[in-house]
Chain A
Amino acid sequence: MTDVAWLSYSLQDFLMFGPQVFLRLFIRLNQDFWPWQLLVVPLTLAVPWMMCRPTHAWRRLAVWLVAAAWIGSGAGFLVRYFGEINWPAVWFGWAFVAQGLLIAVLAICCHSEAIPKGRAGVFTGLWLTGVVALPWVTVLQSGELGAMAVFGLTPDVTLAASSLVLAMMPRVWLWPLLPIPLVWVLFSAATYWALQLVWFLLLPAATLILFALGCWLSPSLARSQDPQSGHRGPVRR
């Protein structure tokens, strides 16, 4: 097909499924996965507490939970459910699994720093916004409580909340973790726009906002802004 012919396509022309079918995926996932949500949700709520501990082992456990969430939402929602009706979702699913494994390995290799005490409350508030408020977007859109998007089971809420934790990673490790989230944000925003799922557009928007706030909260940035910090950057010799 010529390049000119491609220009005649609209976003809607690439949609293979309707909004009703997409929203049903959340309901089916929650039905099939029940009652594991009872384990997933408390673990999710414990992440801010772990991230603020001075002991590195707790923070590593928190990052591993985030890694598991990526693997769960990739292999579960994206590959097994969304992939049935939209083949690119399968690729994204395996990309999410790869991202989860990468995060898990990085949690071993690099030691993230504890969130400064002054900012722990903000981090907790933002995390709870991600894992408690954002799941209601799917409920608002579908009108079904059973469609709630749970962290660790569905990709957008997982990505939005975990972007806070990713932002805590040392900058050098952060770059390889960015491509998949960025491509997913673009893909999901385009999909929701084409499906005219207006509430769903909050999810990619929230991901970008939470990531920006996460960067602002990250210990390295906090330290560089702290005039009392002993860290003065590399010494010129």
Chain B
Amino acid sequence: MRLTRRQLVIGAGISGFALASPGLFAELAGGTAAVPILRTVPSSGESVPAIGMGTWITFNVGNDPYLIESRTEVLKTFFDRGGSVVDCSPMYGSSADVLGKALNALQAHDQVFAATKIWTADESATRTQAESSHNRWGVARFDLLQVHNLLGWRGHLETLKEMKADGEIRYLGITTSHGRRHDEFARIMETEPLDFVQLTYNVLDREAESVLMPLARERGIAVIVNRPFQGGALFRRVQSEPLPPWAAVAGIGSWAEFFLKFVIAHPAVTCAIPATSQVAHMQENMAAMYGELPSESQRQRMAAFVRSL
């Protein structure tokens, strides 16, 4: 695959980031220089950071200048800490517009791995909606276009295949969430040439482990994980609970890190996309992209611990 200037910028940014920011990484890793955890997109061999950013609810702030500025700071922190994959959808209200304004304010179009979705029952409207999203984000082209929640997936996937062949997008995929329609999802994974799938997976919602994630590995499909915090419910579950003492041994310093490292340590996972509206939370999320990942036995212990709460 030929790399564009923008891909080179992202790749160079990711790989050179640790070297260029020794102070930051010394801080992140408790004094030891750290490199971000990257994952490979099986269909291309391209490396992407294992922690991305979702925008559902958090970036839907309308035209509020104060909140747009605050979300711009969140995005800046995300990029500063080595992130690049940002996911959105036309379903998310004003999120795409806010993202576009933030990218413009940061002049960060070259830093973002732009992933959005097609969300319309009109299967002939794929290009129209993609064009609208283009304008809202202000990016030259999308890296990844996904069919949102399988809505009109047959028609949209055909068009996305054409767009990919024409170089209008780099990757295509499908999404689901909340564990819905996994049977149909698996059938599409088995029969269609997908680069990415997006699904819900977290320390409590592990249905994807049984069929979808092994299938993704077998078929060479990258996996983006949504709802890694179960929409915030995991934090409410552990709110008064301190981290277990053994978490520190596994290199985990916060509950956000605990939940995210559980997710990205799964060998099928390419990237998790937590969403947040706060800089401090973004910093915690991005810390999960550095240091050690839990082993399989540690992951089982983590899941058992959260279930017991």
Contacts and interface: CB of A to CB of B under 8 A. Distances in A.
Contacts of B66: 24
Interface stretch (A84-92, A101-109, A149-157, A181-189): A84-92
Contact of A18 (B57, B63, B178): B57
Contact of B94 (A9, A25, A84): A84
A12 B93 contact: no
A28 interface: yes
B181 A5 contact: yes
A99 to B, nearest CB: 24
Chain B at the A interface: mostly helix, strand, loop or mixed?
A: loop
A16 B178 CA distance: 16
A8 B176 CA distance: 13
Contact of B57 (A5, A16, A24, A81): A16
Interface string B174-202: 00001011000000000000000000000
Nearest to A13: B178
B285 interface: no
Interface in A58-104: 81, 84-87
B61 interface: yes
Contact of A20 (B62, B181, B277): B277
Given A5-B180, A16-B92, A84 B62 contact: yes
B271 to A, nearest CB: 23
A49 interface: no
Interface in A23-39: 24-25, 28
Interface in B8-63: 56-58, 60-63
A85 B62 contact: yes
B43 to A, nearest CB: 28
A13 B91 CA distance: 12
Contacts of B92: 16
Contacts of A21: 60-62, 64, 67
Contact of A17 (B57, B63, B231): B57
A66 B66 CA distance: 33
Contact of A28 (B57, B64, B231): B64
A18 B231 CA distance: 12
A8 B93 CA distance: 22
A38 to B, nearest CB: 24
Contact of A85 (B94, B178, B277): B94
Contacts of A9: 178
A87 B93 contact: yes
A43 interface: no
A79 B279 CA distance: 30
Contact of A84 (B63, B180, B277): B63
B57 A15 contact: yes
Interface in B63-109: 63-64, 66-67, 92-94
B296 to A, nearest CB: 30
Given A12-B231, A84-B94, A18 B58 contact: yes
A16 B93 contact: yes
27 contacts: A5-B180, A8-B180, A9-B178, A12-B231, A13-B178, A16-B57, A16-B60, A16-B93, A17-B57, A17-B60, A17-B61, A17-B93, A18-B57, A18-B277, A20-B67, A20-B277, A21-B61, A21-B64, A24-B61, A24-B64, A25-B62, A28-B64, A84-B62, A84-B63, A84-B93, A85-B61, A87-B93
Interface of A: 1, 5, 8-9, 12-13, 15-18, 20-21, 24-25, 28, 81, 84-87
Given A1-B149, A24-B61, A24-B66, 9 more contacts: A16-B56, A16-B57, A18-B277, A21-B61, A21-B64, A28-B64, A84-B63, A84-B93, A85-B61
Chain A to chain B: the 10 pairs with minimum beta-carbon distance, closest first: A84-B62, A85-B62, A16-B93, A17-B60, A21-B61, A85-B60, A85-B93, A16-B60, A24-B64, A84-B94
